[in-house]
Amino acid sequence: MRSLSAGRSGDNTGRYVYFRQDYSLPPGSRRASGAVPPLYAFNKGWLIATSLWVVAEAGAGVHNDLMPAESYSAPAREELQLSRADAYARGRQLRRTTPRSALAERSTAHRDPVAHIREQNEDRNQELVPLRMERMLENPFAFYRGTAGLMAMDLARDSHSGIVVAACGDAHISNFGFYASPERKLVFDLNDFDEAGAAPWDWDLKRLVTSVVVGGMHAEYTEREVRKAAQGTVGAYRSALTTMLERNPYERYYMHSNIKFARSLLSSDAQKVLHHAIRTARKRTNQRAVRRTTQMDHDGRLRFVERPPAMTTAPVRNTDVVPRLFAEYRRTVSLDVGTVLAQYTPTDLARRVVGVGSVGTRCFLQLLQSPDGDALLLQVKEAGQSVLQRYGGIPQPSSSAQDVAAHGQGTRVVQLQRVLQAVSDPFLGHLQNDGRDYYVRQFHDMKGSIDLAGLDFVPFFDYVRTCALLLARAHAQSPAAGQILGYLGKSEAATEAVVDWSFSYARQSLLDYEALRAAH
């Protein structure tokens, strides 16, 4: 049994009202492992909060040009129109096809991880492949970050729930971070969607939980602590999804995350980590990036400064290709953003190396200037086929396939980013050039992340559960989300299965890392 007690936060505006759940548990019983701490807040609708890092706040979001519901759930539209009770019942039925315990099973089929990585490298900029290998071999966690394709191939060989949602495809714990909302507020959410597509929800969750295990082992937490964090991640995902699905799709759509937290509920170490990350993110503005990456040339023109191999001059910087591509990109954004962009002219282009798994793919910085010399930076990043389709073999919805055929993979990334993020960059757009697809976004718009290196266990535990909450919010946008709850049920069967699979895969990932080291 549980009851609700109300009280206002310390905010003297009285804007947030928090509702704590008081649990009365039977003797000898325990709360589900990793359950989201019982703190909820309601503001102009409803909110959900972990007591840790993020409050998800009801408010206006930017979700233009969303794919039809069919694009990220079941193929038959009539199957989407299920009541909560019917969706829950269907999820329960799916346990007969794939028992929850089957989520722990891993295929023993032979595969060659080194050959897989080399195959991925074939279509990349060969000058940058050695740098990709160097970054992947820094440590086992860096290797794991760079092997979303390998994991998708492995997941395809194992049992899954059969419940397909709009999936991130690469939901590891370092793919969450800060960025600015269109209202210039700092938010925390999933970051990159290069691999997004239709896939079983459990693939995303396993990707997340395995990253908790690999990251926790790399941080040298005890095995008991790592298991607690992994269980907490699954528990937080289920608890958050349960709470979100108590609301209707319209209300879920308007949920977005805003940085606000109850200081009394944070450990002093966690407060320090969070405050430092927020301060750093607020400094990482577009204009700061302009100052750090450009300088005036002898003709008084603003130009990128080469810093090989991280940043080099793009071969097409002085051709008519750049204005043409800029015009193509402008046609893919909303009218209001296009009106802003019409007041800028592209003046320089540079190749930029980013990330770990993305090294070797084509990525550029585009410098724009207004007639008064004001500068704006955009990032133009290559969009290839999602690993969920390429290696996972998941058929993508027909409408999504038609969009990709007509406009390229960039449109897939942009559309699914808008589905999965609570609020998105309004400058998101896409273009095609020379047989390759790209998506475009702002560069360094208050982007930042939690530095996981050297993090004590308590803030790490808080952080990974927050990531799980945000993944649940993303999955809750899909029509099939209600079936997930029916499949999970109220026991710990699915939690333990996912955690066991993740520990097993973390060991496999370490073996793959050692194999790549030996090959180089």
pLDDT above 50: residue 7: no
- DSSP for residue 247: S
Four-residue CA torsion sign, 183, 184, 190, 195:
positive
pLDDT above 60: residue 225: yes
Per-residue model confidence as pLDDT tens digits over 13-67: 333 333 333 333 333 434 344 444 333 332 323 333 333 444 333 333 333 333 3
What's the pLDDT at 212? 99
* Residue 405 in domain: yes
* Residue 142 in domain: no
Query: What is the average pLDDT score of the chain?
Result: 85
Beta-bridge partner residues of 39: 20
Whole-number Å distance between alpha carbons of 264 and 52: 10
Total domains in the chain come to 1
Whole-number Å distance between alpha carbons of 108 and 330: 49
* Residue 467 in domain: no
Whole-number Å distance between alpha carbons of 94 and 50: 30
The residue to which tokens 């793009």 are assigned: 314
SS3 at position 266: coil
What's the pLDDT at 464? 96
* Domain with 436 in it: 286-442
Nearest CA among 136, 224, 208, 130 for reference residue 174: 208
Higher pLDDT, 70 or 171: 171
* Residue 35 in domain: no
What's the pLDDT at 267? 66
Which segments of 139-293 does DSSP mark as H helices, in order? 140-145, 148-157, 201-218, 223-244, 249-253, 268-283, 286-293
* Residue 1 in domain: no
| Residue 75, preceding peptide bond in cis (omega within 30° of 0) | no
- 163, amino acid identity: I
What's the pLDDT at 258? 58
Whole-number Å distance between alpha carbons of 489 and 183: 38
Whole-number Å distance between alpha carbons of 414 and 337: 15
* Residue 51 in domain: no
* Residue 292 in domain: yes
Higher pLDDT, 2 or 378: 378
Whole-number Å distance between alpha carbons of 167 and 470: 12
Worst-scoring range by mean pLDDT, 259-273, 418-432, 434-448? 259-273
* Residue 39 in domain: no
Per-residue model confidence as pLDDT tens digits over 94-126: 999 999 999 999 999 999 999 999 999 999 999
Helices 398-407 and 409-420 pack at an angle, to 10 degrees, of 130
